[in-house]
Structure 1
Amino acid sequence: MRLNPRTLLRGMPFRARLAAAFCTLFLLTGAALLAFVVLLARYGTAQQVKGIAITKADAPGGSGFPGEFPSGYARATDPNATRPSLDATGDDIALIRQIDQTVQAVQDTALRQMVLWSAVGLLFMALLAGLLGWWLAGRALRPVAAMTEATRRISEQNLHQRLALTGPDDELHRLADTFDTMLDRLEKSFESQRRFVANASHELRTPLAAQRTSLEVGLADPLPEGLAAVREDLLETNREAEQLITALLLLARSDRGLEETETVNLSAAAMLVAAELAPQAEEEQLDVAVTADRPLTVLGDPVLLRHLLTNLIRNAIQYNHPGGRVRVRLEDRTLTVTNTGPTVPADRVPDLFEPFRRLTQDRTSTTGHGLGLSLVRSIAEAHGTRATAEPGRQGGLTVTVRFP
């Protein structure tokens, strides 16, 4: 399979690409500089050699050369004299040619050695430049890594945190300021939403309580025939509205995070919740069992954790079939609630954790407001964990919460 260089480069981390760019740039500029120096050296040497001529002169002893030059050596004369004198013999011409070949060989050898060792040095320096580029890229990208870590820690639970990047007013500083401005807008939006839910819930609880009292007093026994059923329907509607408002208050409270925490015995709380919901389970002919290898204690809000258990067990009882079962198990800091019931498609499981979302076509009961599992997820996130669910092979659902 032929590799595409562009695809290979895209798969490399940015720091590695930056270091490779430093190394390649140094290698190309060094190679260009080396080629320039070699060409100039060769041209300059050739020009100098053209200015050297070999002449024959009388020397003592009939050697044919001056006494100060031993036999076989050359002497530089006028640069404009490009060839020997006309009275040179054949031996002199051969000697001159030999000396010229020797000079050319020395020149070529020197150039080859210079090119060889320059290339070795260039490769070594390119490798060194790549390592230095890797180090410099890490130094330059250190603020980006700090921004990435800070962004990972920021969620809807701690939107008050900011990147707060220090240093000169450069591109990275302006990017961090842009992130902080975006977080300011997000925090205001989340706070506005939470404040609206909390205030609306508080404002609605009072008239609902007054409405329930009016119904109980105004429609007290004895009642004309037919009004008793109407009173029960009105009171049931009133109770459902109060439960919805209470759930919204809990959702807003858990979204704000935990203000105070304490040690909570989750095993004992699960048994108490199961006992409270036992009449509803008996009415549906369900078998509810709570098992724990040893007491499970977690650090959190006891009220919110109790509502987490209540919503999980009530949801397992409510969406079940007569004669089914509910199993609550606490083991290794993990809470698991499993029930029988209708089959839940795997692709619809994430919808169960969204507020006011119910799979009415798949579930037998039409009661409830669709806030049970969304409350469980919000409370779990407030305690630094998350709730997951998966459908059972024979129907029903398994919800797991792993506490840190």
Structure 2
Amino acid sequence: MRLNPRTLLRGMPFRARLALAFSTLFLLTGAALLTFVVLLARYGTARQVEAIEITKIDAPSGSEFSSGYAQPTDPQGTLPPPGTTGDGIALVRQIDQTVQAVQDTALRQMLFWSAVGLLVTTLLAGLLGWWLAGRALRPVAAMTETTRRISEHNLHQRLALTGPDDELHRLADTFDTMLDRLEKSFESQRRFVANASHELRTPLAVQRTSLEVGLADPLPDGLAEVREDLLAANREAEQLITALLLLARSDRGLEETETVDLSAAARLVAAELAPQAEGDQVDVAVTSDRPLTVLGDPLLLRHLLTNLVRNAIQYNHPGGRVRVRLEGHTLTVTNTGPPVPADRIPDLFEPFRRLTQDRVGTTGHGLGLAIVRSIAEAHGTEATAEPGRPGGLTVTVRFP
């Protein structure tokens, strides 16, 4: 498997990439400077060799030296200088070769030690770049840590970055402005939920009471059926409003938490829904290997269990089963019912999204699993579902 350098660079942290960029830039600049120095040194020494003049000293005839004046030699030492004797040629050629050897040795030593120095200073530049990148990114790290701590429960906190009016300071100010808008939005939502809880439920309660009192028995023929229809519509409207308010509350997150015994809550929910299960001829059973305790909101967790079990009973068939299992930190609710296509499962967790009219029947508003998902997310987890075999649905919630 061949490694792509671009893919490898993208996988590196920004600080490491910045330090690597410092080191690479220093290495390339140093290599260019070293190449220039070596070429300049070679050119300069070559010119000096060409300018060398060798003076021969007087010596007895036939000795190693003879008198005379010698022209500069060829750099390769192949051409004898004009006007010299054989002894003079040997002397000039020997000196020329010596100078060339000294030149090559000096250049090799300079090149070697310069390369060693360049590598060492490149390593130091990388370490210095790592330190400088850390110093430059310290405000970003502080902004990230503060952002992590900010949630819907402490939107009043701000980054409040100090320092010069630079790009980072303007980024922090923009983020603080966004938090201001979010805080106002959340406060508006909280006020709406608190007011709607009273304003919407009270008229429905008054309407139900008026129907029960104003249309009390005995009634003329035909009005009894109308009364039951009106009361059924009233109860359905109350259930819808309760579900919407519950969804809005779970979307806000958890305000207070306490330890909840989910095993005991599941058995209590199964007992409360036993009349509905008996009427639909569905068998409900709760199994638990050990008590499952969860830190969360007891009311929201109770609604999570209620919606899961009620949906499993409602979307079932006569003689079907509902199994609630609590194993470790996992809650699983399985039912037997009509087959559910795997590609339609994500739709079941959306508000007011129904699979088919047959699945929904005459009751339900398509909010059950949407509420389950919202409550699960409020508790730091998620609800997943998969088709059962041969039919039905299995919903799983894994608590941290």
So what's the TM-score if we normalise by structure 1? 0.85
Distance in 2 between the 1:73 and 1:213 partners?
A: 140
Residue 77 of structure 2 corresponds to which residue in structure 1? Answer: none
Aligned-residue offset at 1:231: 0.2
> AA paired with 1:264?
V
Q: Is 1:56–2:52 an aligned residue pair?
A: no
* Residues 84-233 of structure 1 mapped to structure 2, 5 A cutoff: 88-148=84-144, 150-151=146-147, 159-233=155-229
> AA paired with 1:172?
L
Residue 68 of structure 1 corresponds to which residue in structure 2? Answer: none
Give the conservation status (yes or no) of the 8 Å contact 1:337–1:398: yes
Distance in 1 between the 2:83 and 2:133 partners?
A: 72
Residue 282 of structure 1 corresponds to which residue in structure 2? Answer: 278
Residue 26 of structure 2 corresponds to which residue in structure 1? Answer: 26
Distance in 2 between the 1:116 and 1:123 partners?
A: 11
Distance 1:347 1:186, change over 3 A: farther
Q: Is 1:354–2:350 an aligned residue pair?
A: yes
> AA paired with 1:46?
A
Aligned-residue offset at 1:21: 2.2
Q: How many residues align?
A: 393
Distance 1:269 1:87, change over 3 A: closer
Distance in 2 between the 1:185 and 1:51 partners?
A: 81
> AA paired with 2:255?
E
> AA paired with 1:183?
L
Give the conservation status (yes or no) of the 8 Å contact 2:380–2:399: yes
Distance in 2 between the 1:361 and 1:88 partners?
A: 117
Residue 337 of structure 1 corresponds to which residue in structure 2? Answer: 333
Q: Is 1:317–2:313 an aligned residue pair?
A: yes
Residue 381 of structure 1 corresponds to which residue in structure 2? Answer: 377
Distance 1:180 1:392, change over 3 A: farther
Distance in 1 between the 2:89 and 2:253 partners?
A: 102
Q: Is 1:298–2:290 an aligned residue pair?
A: no
* CA deviation vs aligned residue, 1:35-92 (integer Å, no higher than 9, x gap): 2212322233234334432213346xx4899xxxxx8799xx9xx9858999753312
SS in 2 for 1:206: helix
Alignment gaps of 5+ in structure 2: 74-79
Distance in 2 between the 1:72 and 1:186 partners?
A: 100
Aligned-residue offset at 1:178: 2.0
Distance in 2 between the 1:354 and 1:129 partners?
A: 55
Give the conservation status (yes or no) of the 8 Å contact 1:258–1:383: yes
Alignment gaps of 5+ in structure 1: 66-70
Distance in 2 between the 1:188 and 1:221 partners?
A: 51
- Identity level (%): 86
Distance in 1 between the 2:61 and 2:348 partners?
A: 113
Aligned-residue offset at 1:392: 1.2
Residue 248 of structure 1 corresponds to which residue in structure 2? Answer: 244
> AA paired with 2:210?
S
Distance in 1 between the 2:291 and 2:207 partners?
A: 43
Distance in 1 between the 2:384 and 2:108 partners?
A: 71
RMSD: 3.2
Distance 1:183 1:366, change over 3 A: farther
Distance 1:172 1:397, change over 3 A: same
Residue 41 of structure 2 corresponds to which residue in structure 1? Answer: 41
SS in 2 for 1:363: helix
Distance in 2 between the 1:273 and 1:127 partners?
A: 66
Distance 1:5 1:282, change over 3 A: closer
Aligned-residue offset at 1:98: 2.0
Aligned-residue offset at 1:9: 4.6
Aligned-residue offset at 1:338: 1.0
Distance 1:149 1:389, change over 3 A: farther
Aligned-residue offset at 1:373: 1.6
Distance in 2 between the 1:85 and 1:202 partners?
A: 116
Of the structure 1 ranges 341-350 and 276-285, higher mean CA displacement relative to structure 2 is found in 341-350
* CA deviation vs aligned residue, 1:265-296 (integer Å, no higher than 9, x gap): 22122111111111110000000001112222
Distance 1:54 1:247, change over 3 A: same
Distance in 2 between the 1:188 and 1:226 partners?
A: 52
Distance in 2 between the 1:56 and 1:26 partners?
A: 51
Give the conservation status (yes or no) of the 8 Å contact 1:288–1:327: yes
Aligned-residue offset at 1:95: 0.9
* CA deviation vs aligned residue, 1:130-158 (integer Å, no higher than 9, x gap): 34434443443344445445555655566
Distance in 2 between the 1:85 and 1:229 partners?
A: 134
Distance in 2 between the 1:312 and 1:160 partners?
A: 35
Of the structure 1 ranges 128-137 and 216-225, higher mean CA displacement relative to structure 2 is found in 128-137
Distance 1:143 1:345, change over 3 A: farther
Distance in 1 between the 2:314 and 2:45 partners?
A: 99
Distance in 1 between the 2:277 and 2:97 partners?
A: 110
> AA paired with 2:29?
T
> AA paired with 2:236?
E
Aligned-residue offset at 1:317: 0.9
> AA paired with 1:400?
T
Distance in 1 between the 2:352 and 2:206 partners?
A: 26
Distance in 1 between the 2:151 and 2:354 partners?
A: 26
Aligned-residue offset at 1:256: 2.8
Distance in 2 between the 1:148 and 1:38 partners?
A: 49
